[in-house]
Amino acid sequence: MYNLKIESMTKSIVDETSVKIEENVEPILVRELVPVAKQCSECQAEFGCGVASAIEQGGCWCQDLPAIMPLGTLSDCLCKACLAKVIGVEINKQLDAAGSPKARLALAEPYRHQTELVENIDFTIEDGRYVFSEWYHLKRARCCGNDCRHCVYK
């Protein structure tokens, strides 16, 4: 008999909690999520920052770029072009520090799934032509056979 009372008390507490959770969920689903307007701390251009609503929307555009920056390096958000330049410079520093070809490949390996090419990270444009970076070739993990300037497989 004692066990039955505990079970029924537990059940009523669980039911009450479920109702409260369900009541709180509905307004969140109705709320419209919009990226926050920010100003790039580098070039002063305005852009949409999706970090404020990243959990609900599935992420900000900056999460599609390599997460390679040391913590605390940036004080505020940068626009996509400026962030790509900063990340490109940091990637080159880390590749130089990695040294061996095997260590360089290991650095790029976690980013192989990132197939969208980003200017100043995966390529630059010189005289109207795409010049693929060493980073791009390392992510690709094989030679394309086009005698690229930054090919790591020559």
Q: Which residues contact 136 (CB under 8 A, 6 or more apart)?
A: 117, 121, 122, 123, 150
Residue-level pLDDT at 74? 60
Higher-confidence position of 27 and 14: 27
Number of Cα atoms under 13 Å in the Cβ half of residue 118: 22
Res. 129: pLDDT tops 70: yes
Res. 10: pLDDT tops 70: no
User: What backbone phi and psi angles, to 5 degrees, belong to 132?
Assistant: -75, 140
Res. 120: pLDDT tops 70: yes
Rounded (5°) CA angle 142-102-95: 90
Banded model confidence at residue 90, pLDDT cuts 50, 70, 90: very high
Cα distance between residue 106 and residue 3, in whole Å = 58
